[in-house]
């Protein structure tokens, strides 16, 4: 979602703001803006479209102020226009905001009756308007901030400038991530550590409800009750900047697809050895009573990883596993028994729905354990969970998740194997076999990457079609969902993933020569039955792409292409089949000429509901 940066430094902040926005552009990219205080006046520059448009404007009109805020937007309220771009101003106040103000219509109506005029369609604009009005009655920002925040319903991370307090930058956080950072030149606020990578050496995560200000000399942080906090736990900035380079690849997505083999080895050397699996941040996985039930909650691609893990956990641990999308889980009435573990999966660790699902689970059953499997160690999800397994995937920049997904699968496979061994349902011999096959993932994935020319040869098949169907069974069924999601996200083609056995119950009506069908058929998961589906779609004229790890030369006349996969076992087969699916989405998107790393309407981190 939107990205926020703010800075107060010893020299002009324009370059730091722009670089920070560039580092966070993956969060939202439909418009951007900055505001500085130049000569005791607000100086605002905004541009619709990608950040390069704003950068071009700033080359012509430079900001000189040493205090400023910046924003890259993912539109929630109002189209991506200059008027709707942040910062939003009223009188001496400028505001950048990430989140959604749910009571903005009521606030706007009230403010309009007091003569305030609005120029944008955004929910955010009520914040500077309300603050200006409050400051007319009480000019002290420190007194007014809690009053302002008490009137805002919804989620926000805020950066606020007030010309009257031009030596401090105000901030607040509720429901949307925000951190403070410091470096040799000054102090910063940011939605994401990446924004200040390169300028800051230390950072401080804000908790829910905290607000305060930064100046050239330090930070002041107040809690929700208005008490000033005296102790601050500053952490060293992690090395984030290097990964934001494409390293010669045309797109971040392609680079991240190619990083997957070595990530598998990183995961294996960090967490597994011949003796078993150890997750250092979750000691209780070694000795806690095994759960009677597991609940897994996530969104999008992370949800698909959870669906695959359900097959593994139910087969080997032999406990019921419930998997739900977080936006549904948090609003239904989930019946959570005792001795139930919640596993949340998230690349970012800031997905609003997943966080709320975790909070609901903790409120309802505080004695149950919660485990976050996440790529961002410092995220809210990790900080609010009882245990954390790091994905070791490195910063993922491409909006369509690839390496975080396979890292989730690999970690989940190890988790299932560890728990299965603990429960006695996986023998030493079976564990060793799966361990060996997991260790071989780097080699096997590199082999899989050789399918690029085959995949490229298929792209013309995706012109003039009315959709694409992905079919799989068992742990390959969620993979079919993921293959369809990847294709939709970056090529804008309609695609659906289906359990192959469900095809006869409806989707078969769609099948004709203009509906390519991708069939995922590893020998591990009911191969004969999947092949029956192949015959059925073929009989109706579909063009079939077959992904399989068995020799199927007999079928070469029946299908457009067979994409050979290295032989996988019950755990590794979906990991290996993921790569051709990601490459298919990538190559089709490239063929169609879409914006692969920043596809329309999407944002990397969905921090609003």
Q: Are 298 and 305 in contact (CB under 8 A)?
A: yes
Cβ 508 to ligand F6R, closest distance in Å? 27
220 strand-pairing partners: 213
Interacting residue with ligand F6R among 4, 515, 606, 608 (CB under 6 A): 606
**Per-residue mark of binding to ligand F6R, 359-398 (x: CB under 6 A):** ----------------------------------------
Q: Are 400 and 490 in contact (CB under 8 A)?
A: yes
Q: Is the peptide bond between 87 and the residue preceding it cis, with omega within 30 degrees of 0?
A: yes
Strands 88-90 vs 228-229: parallel, antiparallel or unpaired = unpaired
Token pair 């079976």 is found at 430
Cβ 562 to ligand F6R, closest distance in Å? 26
C-beta neighbour count of 138 within 10 angstroms: 11
CB neighbour list of residue 15: distance below 8 Å, 6 or more residues apart: none
Stretch that binds ligand F6R, among 347-355, 413-421, 463-471, 472-480 (CB under 6 A): 347-355
Of 36 and 578, the one with the shorter C-beta distance to ligand F6R is 578
161 strand-pairing partners: 94
Cβ 344 to ligand F6R, closest distance in Å? 8
Nearest residue to the partner ligand F6R, using Cβ: 300
Q: Which helix (H) or strand (E) holds 532?
A: helix 527-539
Q: Which helix (H) or strand (E) holds 166?
A: none
Stretch that binds ligand F6R, among 52-60, 168-176, 341-349, 357-365 (CB under 6 A): 341-349
Cβ 1 to ligand F6R, closest distance in Å? 10
Phi and psi based region of residue 115 (left: phi greater than 0; alpha: psi -120 to 50; beta: remaining):
left
Cβ 290 to ligand F6R, closest distance in Å? 26
**Per-residue mark of binding to ligand F6R, 443-472 (x: CB under 6 A):** ------------------------------
Residues 290-309 that bind ligand F6R (CB under 6 A): 299-302
Of 127 and 393, the one with the shorter C-beta distance to ligand F6R is 393
Cβ 303 to ligand F6R, closest distance in Å? 7
Residues 167-196 that bind ligand F6R (CB under 6 A): none
In angstroms, how far apart are the furthest CA atoms of the chain? 82
Of 30 and 489, the one with the shorter C-beta distance to ligand F6R is 489
Cβ 327 to ligand F6R, closest distance in Å? 10
Of 54 and 267, the one with the shorter C-beta distance to ligand F6R is 267
Interacting residue with ligand F6R among 16, 192, 259, 489 (CB under 6 A): 489
Q: Are 79 and 601 in contact (CB under 8 A)?
A: no
The two tokens of residue 513 are: 């020569």
- Residue 400 in contact with ligand F6R, rule: CB under 6 A: yes
Q: DSSP 3-state assignment of 575?
A: helix
Residues 265 and 475: their CA atoms lie apart, in Å, by: 22
Interacting residue with ligand F6R among 354, 533, 548, 578 (CB under 6 A): 354
Stretch that binds ligand F6R, among 5-13, 342-350, 497-505, 555-563 (CB under 6 A): 342-350
Cβ 398 to ligand F6R, closest distance in Å? 8
Of 485 and 565, the one with the shorter C-beta distance to ligand F6R is 485
Of 199 and 584, the one with the shorter C-beta distance to ligand F6R is 584
Of 348 and 437, the one with the shorter C-beta distance to ligand F6R is 348
B/e letters for 233-260, b = 16+ CB within 10 Å, e = fewer, are: eeeebeebeebeeeeeeebbbbbbbbbb
Of 19 and 301, the one with the shorter C-beta distance to ligand F6R is 301
Cβ 307 to ligand F6R, closest distance in Å? 12
Interacting residue with ligand F6R among 351, 365, 406, 437 (CB under 6 A): 351
Q: In 3D, which of 212, 207, 196, 256 has the Cα closest to residue 3? A: 196
Token pair 């309609």 is found at 494
Of 179 and 542, the one with the shorter C-beta distance to ligand F6R is 179
Cβ 349 to ligand F6R, closest distance in Å? 7
B/e letters for 54-72, b = 16+ CB within 10 Å, e = fewer, are: beeebeeeebebbbbbbbb
Token pair 């390169």 is found at 198
Token pair 């580092």 is found at 23
Of 260 and 348, the one with the shorter C-beta distance to ligand F6R is 348
Phi and psi based region of residue 182 (left: phi greater than 0; alpha: psi -120 to 50; beta: remaining):
beta
Stretch that binds ligand F6R, among 97-105, 210-218, 345-353, 457-465 (CB under 6 A): 345-353
Interacting residue with ligand F6R among 23, 348, 524, 582 (CB under 6 A): 348
Cβ 395 to ligand F6R, closest distance in Å? 12
Interacting residue with ligand F6R among 9, 31, 346, 572 (CB under 6 A): 346
Cβ 7 to ligand F6R, closest distance in Å? 26
Q: In 3D, which of 227, 212, 266, 585 has the Cα closest to residue 406? A: 266
C-beta neighbour count of 295 within 10 angstroms: 25
By CB under 6 A, the count of residues binding ligand F6R is 15
The two tokens of residue 193 are: 């550590």
**Per-residue mark of binding to ligand F6R, 549-588 (x: CB under 6 A):** ----------------------------------------
For the beta sheet containing 370-374, the strands, ordered from the edge strand earlier in sequence to the opposite edge, are 321-325, 293-298, 340-346, 370-374, 387-390
Q: Are 79 and 122 in contact (CB under 8 A)?
A: no
Q: DSSP 3-state assignment of 581?
A: helix
The string of DSSP codes covering 47-97 is EESSHHHHHHHHHHS----SEEEEEEE--SSS-SSTTTSSPEEETTEEEEE
538 strand-pairing partners: none
- Active-site residue set: 2, 604
Phi and psi based region of residue 287 (left: phi greater than 0; alpha: psi -120 to 50; beta: remaining):
alpha
Of 81 and 594, the one with the shorter C-beta distance to ligand F6R is 594
Stretch that binds ligand F6R, among 101-109, 271-279, 346-354, 552-560 (CB under 6 A): 346-354
Q: Are 183 and 132 in contact (CB under 8 A)?
A: no
Of 127 and 485, the one with the shorter C-beta distance to ligand F6R is 485
* Site of interaction with ligand F6R (CB under 6 A): 299-302, 346-348, 351, 354, 400-401, 485, 489, 605-606
């Amino acid at each position: 979602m939107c990205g926020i940066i703010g800075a107060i430094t010893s020299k002009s902040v324009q370059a730091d703001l722009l670089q920070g926005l560039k580092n966070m552009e993956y969060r939202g990219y439909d418009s951007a803006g900055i505001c500085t205080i130049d000569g005791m006046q607000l100086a605002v520059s905004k541009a619709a479209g990608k950040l390069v448009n704003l950068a071009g404007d700033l080359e012509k009109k430079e900001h000189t102020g040493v205090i400023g805020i910046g924003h890259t937007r993912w539109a929630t309220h109002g189209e991506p226009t200059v008027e709707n771009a942040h910062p939003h101003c009223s009188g001496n106040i400028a505001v950048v905001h990430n989140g959604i103000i749910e009571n903005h219509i009521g606030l706007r109506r009230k403010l309009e009756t007091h003569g305030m005029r609005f120029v944008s369609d955004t929910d955010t604009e009520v914040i500077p308007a309300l603050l200006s009005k409050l400051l007319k009655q009480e000019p002290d920002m420190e007194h007014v901030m809690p009053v302002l925040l008490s009137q805002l319903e919804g989620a926000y991370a805020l950066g606020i400038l007030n010309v009257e307090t031009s030596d401090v930058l105000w901030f607040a956080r509720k429901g949307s991530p925000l951190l403070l950072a410091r470096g040799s030149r000054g102090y910063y606020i940011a939605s994401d550590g990446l924004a200040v990578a390169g300028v800051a050496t230390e950072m401080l995560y804000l908790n829910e409800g905290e607000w305060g200000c930064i100046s050239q000399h330090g930070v002041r942080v107040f809690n929700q009750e208005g008490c000033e906090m005296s102790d601050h736990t500053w952490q060293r900035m992690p090395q984030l900047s290097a990964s934001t380079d494409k390293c010669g690849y045309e797109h971040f997505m392609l680079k991240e697809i190619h990083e997957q083999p070595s990530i598998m080895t990183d995961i294996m050397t960090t967490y597994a050895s011949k003796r078993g699996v150890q997750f250092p941040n979750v000691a209780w996985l070694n000795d806690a009573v095994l759960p009677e039930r597991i609940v897994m909650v996530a969104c999008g691609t992370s949800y698909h990883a959870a669906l695959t893990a359900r097959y593994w956990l139910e087969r080997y641990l032999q406990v019921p596993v419930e998997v739900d999308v977080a936006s549904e889980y948090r609003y239904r009435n989930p019946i959570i028994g005792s001795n139930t573990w919640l596993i949340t999966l998230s690349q970012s660790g800031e997905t609003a729905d997943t966080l709320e699902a975790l909070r609901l689970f903790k409120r309802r059953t505080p004695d149950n354990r919660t485990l976050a499997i996440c790529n961002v160690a410092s995220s809210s999800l990790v900080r609010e969970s009882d245990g954390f397994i790091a994905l070791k995937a490195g910063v993922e920049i491409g909006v369509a998740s690839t390496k975080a997904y396979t890292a989730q699968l690999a970690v989940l496979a190890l988790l299932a194997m560890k728990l299965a061994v603990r429960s006695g349902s996986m023998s030493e011999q079976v564990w060793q076999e799966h361990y060996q096959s997991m260790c071989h993932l780097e080699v096997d994935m590199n082999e899989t990457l050789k399918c690029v020319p085959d995949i490229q040869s298929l792209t013309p098949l995706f012109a003039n079609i009315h959709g694409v169907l992905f079919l799989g069974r068992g742990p390959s069924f969620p993979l079919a969902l993921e293959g369809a999601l990847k294709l939709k996200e970056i090529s804008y083609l309609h695609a659906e993933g289906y359990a192959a056995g469900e095809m006869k119950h409806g989707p078969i009506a769609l099948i004709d020569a203009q509906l390519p069908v991708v069939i995922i058929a590893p020998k591990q998961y009911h191969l004969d039955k999947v092949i029956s589906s192949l015959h059925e779609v073929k009989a109706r004229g579909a063009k079939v792409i077959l992904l399989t790890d068995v020799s199927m030369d007999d079928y070469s006349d029946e299908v457009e292409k067979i994409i050979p996969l290295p032989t996988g076992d019950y755990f590794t087969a979906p990991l290996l089949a993921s790569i051709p699916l990601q490459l298919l989405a990538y190559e089709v998107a490239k063929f169609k000429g879409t914006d692969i790393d920043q596809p329309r309407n999407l944002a990397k981190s969905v921090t609003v509901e």
